[in-house]
A = this chain, B = another copy of it.
Amino acid sequence: MRTLPHPAMEAVRLDTVLAALADPLRRRIVRQLSEGGEAQACGAFDLPVTKSTSTHHFRVLREAGVIAQYYRGNKILSQMRADDLEARFPGLLQAILAAEQVTVAGP
């Protein structure tokens, strides 16, 4: 079974997490994962970029420690590392997701 490398919780750096979440496309992925609750395959995301680019963004999120990915058949399932993030940076993820909510809800 193939596996993908994930940073340990202690190795997750604020720099990397913030940089990862500064991209709108990556926040879109994170949002969908957070709202879905369940692990989802990359194909479940309707992103306005090619597969290559999509792979790149998922990789950035995984290497930043924001999401976890594991093989399941010929798909890769992704899910939030919500607990790890909350333990390391309490309230951060929630604040960012909530902030975007505000941004979207314009008059």
User: Could you say how many copies of this chain the assembly holds?
Assistant: 2
- Residues of A within 8 A of B (CB-CB), count: 23
Interface assignment of A74: CB less than 8 Å from any CB of chain B: no
Interface residues of chain A: helix, strand, loop or mixed (majority): helix
Find chain B residues with CB under 8 A from A24 CB. Answer: 15
Chain B residue with Cβ nearest A99: B89
A:27-56 near B, CB below 8 Å:
27
Known: A18-B21, A19-B22. 7 other contacts (CB 8 A): A13-B103, A18-B96, A89-B99, A90-B95, A92-B95, A92-B96, A92-B99
The smallest C-beta distance from A104 to any residue of chain B, in angstroms, reads 10
Chain B residue with Cβ nearest A92: B95
